[in-house]
Amino acid sequence: MNNDMHPMVAHPAIIAESNRLATGIGSFLGKCGLKRDRITPISIVYAQAAYQPLPSFWRDLTYGAVLIAVEVHAPGFLGTILRPDGQPSDFAHAIELELKLRTSDELNAELLLSLSDKERPTSPQRTVGYYKN
């Protein structure tokens, strides 16, 4: 698990988008009336709908940036996702897994979009075949 609690991102556009996303996550959670004890991994995933496409966004967004965004909305949240021994809970792992899945999706989409129309798979089966080769 990435224990970096600081949103360390290099590109100014990514920093701006991370800040906008943090505001969007907090806004979504607030509009839903979600208090700290009602936030779930899936509510955080839905809150990420505030995201607007930006190349390499998911690769550059850190796990810490997402946790900080939720902590800003719900102070004390970080303390609730740690086990008594200080280790991340299943809840924290679920958030990290969602971020990894989105990173993988982003990489796959960018790879497929980099192909010419002739090279690009035209069905799910051909896409799977493309990745197997």
- State the helix-helix crossing angle for 90-114 and 63-73, rounded to 10 degrees: 130
User: Given this model, what pLDDT does residue 66 score?
Assistant: 79
Asked if residue 113 belongs to a domain, the reply is yes
- Per the domain annotation, does 120 fall within a domain? yes
What letter does residue 62 receive in the DSSP assignment?
-
**Domain presence at residue 6:** no
Is residue 3 a part of any domain in this protein? no
Q: Angle at Cα 123 formed by Cα 99 and Cα 51, nearest 5°?
A: 25
Residue 76 belongs to some domain of the structure: yes
Predicted model pTM: 0.58
pLDDT tens track, the chain, 133 positions: 343 433 433 456 666 766 777 777 777 777 777 777 777 777 776 666 665 566 777 787 778 877 877 887 788 888 888 788 878 888 888 888 988 998 898 888 888 888 898 988 888 888 888 877 7
Query: Has residue 43 been placed in a domain?
Result: yes
**Looking at the DSSP assignment, which residues form a beta bridge with residue 88?**
82
- Number of folded domains that form the chain: 1
Domain holding 20, by residue range, is: 12-132
Residue 25's pLDDT is what? 75
CA distance 26 to 21: 8
Strands (E), 9-99: none
- Nearest partner of 80 among 29, 31, 21, 40, judged by Cα: 40
Please indicate, yes or no, if residue 4 is contained in any of the structural domains: no
